[in-house]
Amino acid sequence: MEARYSEQLPLIEGAVEAVERLAGSFRLGLASSSNRSLIDVVLSAGGLAGRFEVTVSSEEVKRGKPAPDVFLETARRLETAPERCAAVEDSGNGIRAARAAGMRVIAIPNHRYPPPADALALADLVLDSLAELVPAGIERTDMPSGPPSSSPRRA
């Protein structure tokens, strides 16, 4: 997989542009279920390695998603309280893990493998694509931590 990704990187459309937009306004951390070597290959091949202050693989924590461990470790390494973080997620387990960590959650559902409705209901904001992910949208999710509202806001 690493060799294949080095040659042809299967990034979600708009991923590089979204990271570039956010890096100008926020400190970025990556909390991933992928293994360390794959994270490094993808970030390097995508030209994004320097945009993330911290990257954490679920293999570096006790439990993977949907447990909150990878998000909590990312916040710890950023020296930031989880409730001051916003997580961008596309999967049900990722949404659940970020919510369990106490982070604000922005869901951008993977259209090929959409998260279940009960996971999407945990999101503070649901976007249709990475093109909609802008600093102002993340700031709009700046709400007190606690149980999410009964339905996520749609952009």
Q: What is the pLDDT of residue 44?
A: 92
Q: What CATH number was assigned to the domain covering residues 2-154? A: 3.40.50.1000
Q: Which residue ranges of the chain lie beneath pLDDT 50?
A: 143-152
Q: What is the pLDDT of residue 142?
A: 53
Q: What is the pLDDT of residue 14?
A: 93
Q: What is the pLDDT of residue 149?
A: 36
Q: What is the pLDDT of residue 8?
A: 80
CA separation for the pair 34, 23 (Å, rounded): 22
Question: 70 near 61, Cβ under 8 Å?
Answer: yes
Q: What is the pLDDT of residue 143?
A: 46
Burial class (CB in 10 A: 0-12, 13-18, 19+), 97: buried
Q: What is the pLDDT of residue 154?
A: 54
Domain boundaries, the chain: 2-154
pTM of the model: 0.87
Q: What is the pLDDT of residue 70?
A: 98
Q: What is the pLDDT of residue 51?
A: 97
CA separation for the pair 83, 101 (Å, rounded): 8
Q: What is the pLDDT of residue 150?
A: 36
